[in-house]
Structure 1
Amino acid sequence: MAAGAAGGVENSGETTLSAIQVRSSKEDLSGVAGAASEGVVSGERLSTLPLLRPAEALEQVPGLIVTQHAGDGKANQYFLRGFNLDHGTDFATYVDGMPVNLPTHAHGHGYTDLNFLIPELVDTIRYRKGPYFAEEGDFSSAGSARIGLVRRIDGTLASLGWGQGGYARSLVAGSPELAGGRLLYALEAYHNNGPWQVPENYRKWNGVLRYSQGSEANGWSVTGMSYSGRWTSTDQIPERAVGEGLIGRYGSLDDSTGGSTRRTSLSAQWAQSDAAGRSRANAWLLDYSLDLWSNFTYYDRDPVNGDQFRQDDRRRAGGFDLARTTYARLGGVELENTLGLTGRHDRIGRVGLYYTADRETLSTVRQDRVEQSSVALYGENQARWTPWLRSIVGARIDYYRFHVGSSLAENGGRASDSLASPKFGLVFGPWRRTELYVNYGLGFHSNDARGTTLRVNPENPAEPASRVTPLVRSRGGEVGVRSEPLAGWNTTVSLWQLDLASELLFVGDAGTTEPSRPSRRQGVEWANFFTPASWLTADLDLSWSRARFRDDQPIGNRIPGAIETAVSAGLAVDNLGPWFGALRFRYFGPRPLVEDNSVRSSASALTSLRLGYKVDRRTRLALDVFNLFDRKVNDIEYYYASRLRNEAASVEDVHFHPVEGRTVRLTLTTRF
């Protein structure tokens, strides 16, 4: 059964709603993929899933875990391949060609906020892992995901959702024909308080307006998006505060933390394909702001006013990406040659850190203006030497330039850097529906611009601080296999390794760059998708990672927060009369919280359920139950020192953000 991109199919002129679809042809990468860990998730599959948050769409990337350590209006926290990716560092995310990662961000370099994403509009998620692809640059050492949006949906979609904790969501979307093309529109309104003792009162508005002609391969589109959100957050809390009865599991130690954010973007895409090759171009503009109040240490720094701080970010950014692929034949060898050029400029009018109390500013730690530019030239050659052997050879050259104007004159200045990153891959097969892959490549991640010109500690200007390298090298390799051993069963296995020259990160909570050590991560991933019958699909993803610092130090060589084990599994049922449903399971294993592994996090196992009924061909009801078994587990755990109001000194403790308890939501969807 073929599906429309938004989960609907047309039959005899009538719109029908199909909740569960078999594996889409978009997801079949046999003969196309350059690595075993490369894949595609279709919007049809995504439409079957109960999603607590929009960013959880990325959990369809095998081994990737999406959590939250504060309010839902804040960017999520991501884990993959032995990384605690924080809010997105080392995993590059794009929506319709626009990079989502924000460099030199107030809260963390690479900040990736996907709250503007409307899941019903997702057409595909194309993911890659490792530094093996010439097209992928900054933030992509662990991997990347390119989210494409639909150009049309079937009929006019209207959706209303209600649930516990003040949850309410409404969505209207359509794509009427206009002047030989399609005008796609969508408007989403959302509210949620959650289970928190201090209501989250998260309010957001999302709007999308797109005009397009033609197709993704031969056509063009212009898209405008707008998102605004406002919330009160319950940040991570110490175990001792709950154990002593000072607060409950869903309690807060600072009821004025939270934030507001806004982003407005305009983007354009163009593509053309013919017998000689294919060309594509895209350009984008972004206007963005964030105000974020947090308090993770309570009364450790300031026993009188508390440790709350504000981070703000005001920026305008723009960029482009051009690429041309040509087809050729040389002595019986089929060739594909790609040449691309990409660039970006962020004009950050203000990025600041301030000490506050009840959201009132007490003092300024640092406030900066940043101009950050980058440009990259990349090329790739794919050659099919025989029916069973392909080679992929590529390289990219990146150049970065930073200009920082700081409230502390000593921390201002200019910096620049460049790196060349070669890539290499071999693909053997197919033999009996099986392909083998060998990949190797060099990559990099950039550092926060403020770290490249740093001279003194912003919290104590009398204390000197060291600058960091603007671009840090990564090096990775992978061996994998992709196969269809039985009809309807697609499976991939990959063994990988990734080295980073340094894990330098800008710590937005302190306004400084924190040096770390060279690291090595290794692991294995096994991903499966099975369609045993037209009414049943199943998937199972298993991931294991080993993350270590490469230099031996007495403090230990474990990387705090590094994910070790992840399991994701699901069943989906449809075409059995009016009923449909899905069951999802996710396991997030224990992790070291300190370098010597003496403190470890607990594990998290969650199950979610979707049960639905098709009222008629146009209307359906879906009941989603998150955390079905009401497990008392955590989204995130850290180990550090903090101080409560009644304590005479700071105490090292595990700090956690709990998973929401059993949560029920009902959604009514109709098309007309």
Structure 2
Amino acid sequence: MYTQQRLLRLSVLLLPILLNFNRLLPLCAAPVNPDGKTVGSSTVELPDEDVSRQSEENGDNTSNSPDIIQRSADSTSTESATLLPEVLVYGRADSLIGIADAASQGTVGKDELELRTLSRPGEVLETVPGVIVTQHSGAGKANQFFLRGFNLDHGTDFATSINGVPVNLPTHAHGQGYTDLNILIPELVERVDFRKGPYYADLGDFSSAGAANIKYVDSLPYSIAQVEGGSFGYERGLYASSRLIGSGNLLYAVELFHNDGPWSTPDDYKKINGVLSYSRGDAEHGYSVTTTAYAGHWTATDQVAKRALSEIPGFDRFDTLNSSDGGNSQRYNLSAEWHRADADSSTKVLAYGFYYDLDLFSDFTYFLNSPQGDQFEQLDRRAVGGLKASQTWYSQLFSRDMENTVGLQIRSDSITNGLFQTIRRHRTDKVDYNGETISETTRSDDVWEASFSPYVENKVQWADKFRTVLGLRMDYYYFDVDSNLSSNSGTRDDAIVSPKGSLIFGPWAKTEYYLSGGLGFHSNDARGVTQKVDPMTGDPVKPADPLVRTKGAEIGVRTTAIEGLQSTLALWLLDVDSELVFAGDAGSTEASAPSRRYGVEWTNYYTPTKWLALDADFSFSHAEFRKTVGDDGSQGTHIPGAIDSVMAIGIAYRQPGERGFFSDLRLRLFGPRPLIEDNSVRSATTTLLSAKAGYNFNKNWTLSVEGFNLLDNKNHDIDYYYPSRLKNEVAGPDEGGYNDIHFKSVEPIAVRAALTFRF
């Protein structure tokens, strides 16, 4: 790994080195409009008329280029279908009237993303209305996500993909659906397509709350060399470019990164990211091959017990209770996609494979289980392969336009993971407070998990003001676990069928109405599916259900009736059946009762002029267990960590022309949450104000400055409530420790500056 000094020197030297390198390579720059926008981008601005339909699903698409089919509502022949020309989206493309299948579906374009303040790559997902991205550990670990009344942990029930390749990891050592977006390079993002709820036939595991596909550009209009520096040891260098090879585009980029954060024990997070992609063709016919690489290493300041601030002399909210926590991770992807379309049909195929590994060292309870400390290691190594394919036919039913799609998704994960006792990152046996030995190996497993998922979907434009979308999906899962404890080894399989559908009415006065519903599911960790004995205690346990049913419904409206304003309103409901959840931190299963969540989302994007944009998104939800749960004395129906309110308001300005100022001011409110079932302990609201300002000196040079937590609030990034025991603390009444709020502080006010050269 790079040392901090080497990384700093490389970042500073990146600009001149790559400038010289670039002189050796003739670059292909796409034509540029007078306003600086690229011509020929595969981002599209979709028309409002109800005669337009999008044959490619927004979100988990397998094509690198949108496939837009314009079809007359009263046509009598499929020969009338024509491919729409590509035009640009300059901001959020929420105005999907005549195209979207549900009120909560949307797209965020590159122009909005370029002006956003981002303190970490995962915050790209905060462009999805209602999503909150936080962190409870070191910067190299996957973020925590919140949406629609869910604490999604590290990605459970929210499916994320990049160029169609899934990011979520099932049967992960730390948490089911683990989603690490440190692999993301924000400057390459062309758009974010998002959907919410179990209403889409092409979305399966982890997508009940929502899904987002992050689409990279195929080419750049110019090369980019960028250096950044800022508070708390923040350093970053980026080089990205593309060139014409034959009739295709070669895109390549490399990112070097370092950040300490404000913590007393610096994160010393170092990472390197690389992207290499070749694409050829257009929306009608084309293909691409992409490879990406990521490696990161960090030290972590995990959440700390609130009482430590008063009981440990001099202890600060930026201090740590175990300075050896942290980890390292790698991910290497290879994917290839092919697509074709004509007036009668379209085909999309995506094949992918990747290698991933993680070594994670954590300590959340300090000295609760052993006087030697409670640090543990979670190990995950896996090789993944998968395929997504779909075929759509365009035809007529009673002289009305109809689309029929059949699709198939296959995935295989070959996994080695384990849970080990450690002291300062060294595996070792420990002793508990009774003098009994705690084995170094809590559990170690080799797992093969495979899924086979066909689906069908039918879309019909029954009348000028009425269309339907009906889908049916089947998911088959196979689990094979070889555990170090033979009683926890075994094989299981399960299948689940999920019907889905939407009724869409309108538009009238540029307003469309939606009624959507469907069944979905999420898978459980394979180790919990075959487990019969708790590896820590030896007690018998009930195996988890392999696939857990979810049920959702949504009613909503989308309007552009006010000129320049795109607005959506959605009322939603989501039920999750009774389940058993595998807890990676303990190596065992934990019971969870059936739950219900419902709420309302109101999103607004207003562009009164070409140079000014305002957005205001509001989300409110209620989450509850459908029966009383919890320990004696703290029983209730509240779901710990369930978010009940999110507010995000922003104003962005961009001076027209090659020269001029640009800025973005953004307020983000992360609402309070119950931390225990009886709601007697709650988190506080976290409010953050951030801003970005910059100046384009000409078409080549840009200087920008970002400020985070400008009000210098001392809020918490995240909160938990559970028992722990500090060093030298006597045994307590709560499992030998003391129930307490454990929190990770937000970072204090911070500033970052970036100098960008385009050529």
TM-score if structure 2 supplies the norm length?
0.85
Counterparts of 1:45-60 in structure 2, within 5 Å, are 45-60=112-127
2:325 paired residue number: 257
Partner secondary structure for residue 464 of structure 1: coil
> Quick check: 1:279 aligned with 2:347?
yes
Deviation at 1:477, TM superposition (A): 0.4
1:37 paired residue number: 104
Kindly provide the CA deviation profile for residues 451-471 of structure 1, in whole angstroms up to 9, marking residues without a partner as x. 11101001022x111101100
Counterparts of 1:136-285 in structure 2, within 5 Å, are 136-216=203-283, 218-246=285-313, 247-285=315-353
> Quick check: 1:596 aligned with 2:678?
yes
Q: Which runs of 5+ in 1 are unaligned?
A: 1-6
Query: Contact conserved, 1:236 with 1:655, CA < 8 A, in 2?
Result: yes
1:62 paired residue number: 129
Query: Contact conserved, 1:183 with 1:212, CA < 8 A, in 2?
Result: yes
Query: Contact conserved, 1:27 with 1:42, CA < 8 A, in 2?
Result: no
Q: 2:655 aligns with which of 575, 583, 586?
A: 575
- Distance, in Å, in 2 between the alignment partners of 1:216 and 1:183 is 17
Query: Contact conserved, 2:722 with 2:742, CA < 8 A, in 1?
Result: yes
Deviation at 1:610, TM superposition (A): 0.3
Query: Contact conserved, 1:375 with 1:400, CA < 8 A, in 2?
Result: yes
Deviation at 1:15, TM superposition (A): 8.6
- Distance, in Å, in 1 between the alignment partners of 2:661 and 2:124 is 24
Deviation at 1:485, TM superposition (A): 2.4
- Distance, in Å, in 1 between the alignment partners of 2:580 and 2:284 is 39
Query: Contact conserved, 1:65 with 1:79, CA < 8 A, in 2?
Result: yes
2:466 paired residue number: 389
Partner secondary structure for residue 487 of structure 2: helix
Identity %: 50
Query: Contact conserved, 2:107 with 2:193, CA < 8 A, in 1?
Result: yes
> Quick check: 1:670 aligned with 2:757?
yes
Q: Which runs of 5+ in 2 are unaligned?
A: 1-28, 40-87, 429-439, 732-736
Matched letter for residue 507 of structure 2 = P
Matched letter for residue 449 of structure 2 = Q
Kindly provide the CA deviation profile for residues 289-313 of structure 1, in whole angstroms up to 9, marking residues without a partner as x. 000000000000112x100000000
Deviation at 1:24, TM superposition (A): 4.0
> Quick check: 1:379 aligned with 2:379?
no
> Quick check: 1:292 aligned with 2:360?
yes
C-alpha distance 637-216 of structure 1, shift in aligned 2 (>3 A): farther
Q: 2:535 aligns with which of 458, 461, 480?
A: 458
Matched letter for residue 332 of structure 1 = S
Deviation at 1:383, TM superposition (A): 0.6
Matched letter for residue 549 of structure 1 = F
Counterparts of 1:555-570 in structure 2, within 5 Å, are 555-570=635-650
- Distance, in Å, in 1 between the alignment partners of 2:758 and 2:505 is 46
Partner secondary structure for residue 47 of structure 1: helix
1:357 paired residue number: 423
Deviation at 1:670, TM superposition (A): 1.1
Kindly provide the CA deviation profile for residues 319-375 of structure 1, in whole angstroms up to 9, marking residues without a partner as x. 000001111112122101110000000001x20000100001010000000000001
Query: Contact conserved, 1:15 with 1:671, CA < 8 A, in 2?
Result: no
- Distance, in Å, in 2 between the alignment partners of 1:497 and 1:300 is 39
Partner secondary structure for residue 528 of structure 2: helix
- Distance, in Å, in 1 between the alignment partners of 2:458 and 2:557 is 22
- Distance, in Å, in 2 between the alignment partners of 1:594 and 1:37 is 30
Matched letter for residue 417 of structure 2 = V
Deviation at 1:245, TM superposition (A): 4.3
- Distance, in Å, in 2 between the alignment partners of 1:503 and 1:203 is 38
Kindly provide the CA deviation profile for residues 166-200 of structure 1, in whole angstroms up to 9, marking residues without a partner as x. 11000000010002100000000000001000011
TM-score if structure 1 supplies the norm length?
0.96
- Distance, in Å, in 2 between the alignment partners of 1:381 and 1:484 is 27
Q: 2:505 aligns with which of 428, 433, 451?
A: 428
> Quick check: 1:500 aligned with 2:576?
yes
Query: Contact conserved, 1:489 with 1:529, CA < 8 A, in 2?
Result: yes
C-alpha distance 449-216 of structure 1, shift in aligned 2 (>3 A): farther
Query: Contact conserved, 2:593 with 2:629, CA < 8 A, in 1?
Result: no
Deviation at 1:22, TM superposition (A): 7.5
Deviation at 1:9, TM superposition (A): 7.7
Deviation at 1:502, TM superposition (A): 2.5
Matched letter for residue 185 of structure 1 = Y
C-alpha distance 11-633 of structure 1, shift in aligned 2 (>3 A): same
C-alpha distance 645-553 of structure 1, shift in aligned 2 (>3 A): closer
Greater CA deviation, 502-511 or 514-523? 502-511
> Quick check: 1:369 aligned with 2:446?
yes
C-alpha distance 452-553 of structure 1, shift in aligned 2 (>3 A): closer
Q: 2:393 aligns with which of 326, 333, 340?
A: 326
Query: Contact conserved, 1:22 with 1:534, CA < 8 A, in 2?
Result: no
Query: Contact conserved, 1:126 with 1:147, CA < 8 A, in 2?
Result: yes
Deviation at 1:13, TM superposition (A): 12
Matched letter for residue 445 of structure 1 = H
User: Which has the larger strand fraction?
Assistant: 1
Deviation at 1:27, TM superposition (A): 4.8
C-alpha distance 288-22 of structure 1, shift in aligned 2 (>3 A): closer
- Distance, in Å, in 1 between the alignment partners of 2:96 and 2:409 is 25
- Distance, in Å, in 2 between the alignment partners of 1:427 and 1:139 is 25
- Distance, in Å, in 2 between the alignment partners of 1:217 and 1:635 is 45
Q: 1:440 aligns with which of 509, 517, 523?
A: 517
C-alpha distance 217-66 of structure 1, shift in aligned 2 (>3 A): farther
Query: Contact conserved, 1:22 with 1:45, CA < 8 A, in 2?
Result: no
Matched length: 660
The CA RMSD measured in Å over matched residues stands at: 1.7
Query: Contact conserved, 1:23 with 1:531, CA < 8 A, in 2?
Result: no
Q: 1:637 aligns with which of 699, 705, 719?
A: 719
Matched letter for residue 691 of structure 2 = L
2:10 paired residue number: none
- Distance, in Å, in 1 between the alignment partners of 2:650 and 2:145 is 20
C-alpha distance 24-571 of structure 1, shift in aligned 2 (>3 A): closer
Deviation at 1:65, TM superposition (A): 0.2
Greater CA deviation, 549-558 or 200-209? 549-558
Matched letter for residue 397 of structure 1 = M
Query: Contact conserved, 2:629 with 2:677, CA < 8 A, in 1?
Result: no
1:3 paired residue number: none
> Quick check: 1:307 aligned with 2:374?
yes
Kindly provide the CA deviation profile for residues 606-661 of structure 1, in whole angstroms up to 9, marking residues without a partner as x. 01000101122211111000111111011100000000002112111000001100
- Distance, in Å, in 2 between the alignment partners of 1:241 and 1:107 is 25
Deviation at 1:219, TM superposition (A): 1.1
- Distance, in Å, in 2 between the alignment partners of 1:468 and 1:530 is 47
Query: Contact conserved, 1:522 with 1:546, CA < 8 A, in 2?
Result: yes
Matched letter for residue 67 of structure 1 = T
Query: Contact conserved, 1:22 with 1:537, CA < 8 A, in 2?
Result: no
C-alpha distance 9-618 of structure 1, shift in aligned 2 (>3 A): farther
Query: Contact conserved, 2:514 with 2:557, CA < 8 A, in 1?
Result: yes
Deviation at 1:14, TM superposition (A): 8.0
Matched letter for residue 266 of structure 2 = P
2:189 paired residue number: 122
Q: 1:471 aligns with which of 547, 552, 560?
A: 547
Kindly provide the CA deviation profile for residues 375-424 of structure 1, in whole angstroms up to 9, marking residues without a partner as x. 10101101111000001111100000000000000000000000000001
C-alpha distance 653-216 of structure 1, shift in aligned 2 (>3 A): farther
C-alpha distance 75-489 of structure 1, shift in aligned 2 (>3 A): same
